[in-house]
Each structure stands twice: as C-alpha cells, then as structure tokens.
C-alpha cells in the first residue's frame, strides 16, 4: 500500500477552468516570466528569439526569487501589459 501526502494541507483538490486561449498571437504582447531557477533564462532567451523572429511583441519579467510567489506589483505589471504569459521552469 502506498500513502501519498499532500504538502499543501488541502483536504480536497481544487479545480479551475482554463483561461480561453487566443486564436492567434498576432498583435498580442507575450510576457515571459523567469522565476529565477537555474537556466530558466536560457530557455526564455530562445523563446523570445523565436517570437521576435516571427514579428511578435515580447516583454520580459523576472521574479526576485523562485522560493516565493511573485510580488503583487510584478503580477499587476504583467497583467496590465501582457495578453499571454509563458513562465519558465528549469532545474
């Protein structure tokens, strides 16, 4: 028998509907959020290069540390400036 423990302490799983995806990225600002884990910036550099090569607008952001949620002012900045966001995770 295997016992799986949930480190969040939640008693029941939460479910959320996915946000609707845009039909196209044309005319959209794509936010790239680096959570500051090792080499996440390398991944986002390549993503930014590909998008720029397609003529798309890219905005770069970085969390101060990967150990905490993004500060409220950073989340606000991203939400007001960007139409879609890609978050980089790496290890």
- Residue 35's pLDDT is 92
Task: Evaluate if residue 11 carries a pLDDT over 70.
Answer: yes
Mean pLDDT for the chain overall: 88
Asked if 31 and 85 touch (Cβ cutoff 8 Å), the reply is yes
3-state helix, strand, coil in the chain (%, to 5): 25, 20, 55
| Strand order from edge to edge, sheet including 57-62 | 57-62, 29-34, 84-88
pLDDT in tens, 36-72: 888 888 889 999 999 999 999 999 999 999 888 899 9
């Amino acid at each position: 028998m295997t016992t799986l423990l949930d480190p969040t302490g939640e008693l029941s799983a939460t479910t959320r509907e996915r946000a609707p995806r845009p039909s196209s990225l044309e005319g959209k600002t794509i936010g790239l959020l680096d959570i500051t884990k090792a080499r996440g910036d390398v991944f986002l550099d390549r993503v930014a290069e590909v998008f720029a090569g397609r003529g798309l607008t890219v905005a770069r952001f970085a969390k101060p540390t990967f150990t905490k949620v993004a500060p409220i002012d950073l989340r606000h900045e991203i939400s007001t400036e960007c139409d879609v966001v890609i978050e980089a995770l790496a290890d």
